[in-house]
Each structure stands twice: as C-alpha cells, then as structure tokens.
Amino acid sequence: MRINKYIAQSGLCSRRKADEYIEQGRVKVNGKVITMLGFEIRTKDKVTLDDKLIRSDKLEYYKFYKPTGYITTKSDEKGRKTIYDILPEEYKRLNPVGRLDKDSSGLIILTNDGNLAYELTHPSIKVAKTYIVKVEGKLTDEKLKKLSDGIEIEKGKIAYCDWTILEETKTDTLFEIILYQGLNRQIRKMFEFLGHNVINLKRIRHANIELTGLKKGQIKPIKPRQIKELKLYLEKIRNSKNA
C-alpha cells in the first residue's frame, strides 16, 4: 500500500495532508525518513509521524445535520462558533468531509477515514452534492443558461451546476442544485453574480448519503450497506475516468 493511503486510512488526516507531511520529512518508516510520495509499505513496517507511531483505528462514518450559525472546522481563529461546539464529545475526534458556510445548513459527513474523505472532496473526482436553495426573484432563461454553462465567480474559476426549479412565486424561486465542484461559497457567488440573493441554502445529499431522518443538530451512524454503496459509487466514477 502507498504510504499516503496508509496514513489516511489510519484516520489521522486526509491523503492530501499526508502528502504534505511526507514532503516535509516528518514521516519515517522503520526509523528512516521517507520523502517519496509513492513509497510502498509492507504489513510489518512501522510508520511514524513526528516519531509517533501511526496505528490503524476502526473506521467510523456518521452523518450530521449542521444548523445555520456554525462553521465547519475544528477551531476558528476569529472566535466563531464551530460544529464542534455542539457535537457530543465522543464525536469530536472525527473530521468533516467538505464544508458548509456559516449561513448554510444540512448534511455533513463525519469520519476518521481520511482516504474516503479525500476521494469525496478531490476536485478531479467530481462527486455530486445536492442542495435545496431558495433565492430572491425569478431568473430569466438567459440567467438559467448561465448556471449550466458556467460563471466566472473568481478570476480563472468557472462555476457551473445542474439545476431544477421546484417552485416559483412572485417574490422567490426554489431550486434543487447539484454541484460537482467544491469552490468556496460557490452557489451563493453564482446567484449573486446573476443579481439574486440566496435566502436559504441546505445540503440534502452527498453522493448517495442523504440528510433524511435527521433533525437539526442531530448525528447518526451511516449504515455499513450505505458505505459499501458509497465506495462502489466512487469506484464507478474512477473507472469511467480511466475508460
């Protein structure tokens, strides 16, 4: 197994972060510093980070309904409230898969499986994330086309989405939005560019994992069958890219 994958599967960090630790010379195998990212380790090898032995933990998977008013990080230098302020103590060792901004709510996957987190969030894999979004006003056909074709929300960053209108009133529009990217505040920036403020934004699905059955602030384990289906889903995406 490649060393970065081994570190990620221990639950210590993501595979991307493991690469950083390796490049920084902080990882050793059997007492020797390893800086080659593709280094293959054997079952009996002892891997350390900063001279602390890395052990494999039991992998855990949960889904959490993030309320608005909290950011998705373990700590914040600005002193804002984070999801770890409301999570029970036994779940604070887990890491969030991706983020939702302070004003957004909905599904967050929490896990100590760094390898799975890497695959779910890496931009090259393009895992679907589904949101219910309420915006001010109605969008013209021209603006709706721009949502699909792409909008430059930042220099060199083109954001796009799949969309379905669920409901329209005289004052606002309710959308189902599917993203395959993970740009910062992507949905809000797209609608702001088009001149429409987002009133409410909630993530309801990440890959095959759904928010269904959760109340705000509640956390539940993801069933093993769903994790198996999730890994098969990711495998299909990888295979389609290699075809």
The domains of the chain are located at 3-53, 61-123+208-242, 129-206
Q: How confident is the model at residue 220 (pLDDT cuts 50, 70, 90)?
A: very high
The pLDDT assigned to 10 comes to 78
User: Is pLDDT at 162 greater than 90 in this prediction?
Assistant: yes
- Residues 95-121 have pLDDT tens digits of 999 999 999 999 999 998 888 998 999
How many percent of the chain have pLDDT more than 90? 71
Q: CA-to-CA distance for 77 and 20, rounded, in angstroms?
A: 22
- Residues 23-45 have pLDDT tens digits of 999 999 999 999 998 899 887 88
Q: How confident is the model at residue 9 (pLDDT cuts 50, 70, 90)?
A: confident
* CATH, domain range 3-53: 3.10.290.10
- Assigned CATH class of 129-206: alpha beta
45, 101, 113, 149: the catalytic one is 101
Q: Which residues contact 236 (CB under 8 A, 6 or more apart)?
A: none
Is 0.85 surpassed by the pTM of this model?
no
Q: How confident is the model at residue 133 (pLDDT cuts 50, 70, 90)?
A: very high
Is there a common fold for 3-53 and 61-123+208-242? Answer: no
| Residues across the chain | 243
103 labelled catalytic:
no
- Assigned CATH class of 61-123+208-242: alpha beta
Mean pLDDT: which of 12-16, 40-44, 125-129, 236-240 is highest? 125-129
Q: What is the average pLDDT across 55-64?
A: 84
Q: What are the percentages of helix, strand and coil residues in the chain, rounded to 5?
A: 25, 30, 40
